[in-house]
């Protein structure tokens, strides 16, 4: 069984009928979750084995961006990413 490459009209359909509507709903919800992390509680861990709240917020935001970059480039990076030095709290992540 061979697979055929996606045709431009199929990609356009997926973009406009699936991806963009999903992003329009999901992005504001994700932002609200990240903004809910109190600025002074980024080191909070419900369990010593858990990641800190700031790290989880960064993971959520950067994973979404890495996924979109992977779609655009056709190659996925499964490694973690480190926030830039200018990103220090949940408000910075939400920006």
Tokens of 74: 């056709």
In this predicted structure, what is the pLDDT of residue 1? 59
Spatial separation of the C-alpha atoms in residues 4 and 25, rounded to whole Å: 31
SS3 per residue for the chain: CCCCCCCHHHHHHHHHHHHHHHHHHHHHHHHHHHHCCCCCCCCCCCCCCCCCHHHHHHHHHHHHHHHHHHHHHCCCCCCCCCCCCCCCCHHHHHC
Q: What is the pLDDT along the chain (95 residues), one digit of tens a residue?
A: 568 888 999 999 999 999 899 989 998 999 999 999 999 999 999 999 999 999 999 998 888 788 878 888 888 877 778 899 999 999 999 99
pLDDT for 21 equals 94
**Total-model pTM:** 0.72
């Amino acid at each position: 069984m061979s697979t055929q490459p996606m045709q431009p009209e199929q990609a356009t359909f997926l973009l406009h009928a699936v991806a963009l509507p999903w992003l329009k709903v999901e992005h504001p919800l994700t932002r609200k979750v990240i903004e809910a992390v109190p600025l002074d509680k980024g080191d909070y861990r419900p369990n010593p084995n858990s990641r800190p709240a700031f790290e989880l917020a960064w993971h959520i935001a950067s994973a979404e961006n890495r996924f979109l970059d992977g779609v655009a480039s056709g190659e996925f990076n499964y490694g973690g990413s480190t926030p830039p030095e200018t990103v220090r709290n949940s408000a910075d992540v939400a920006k």
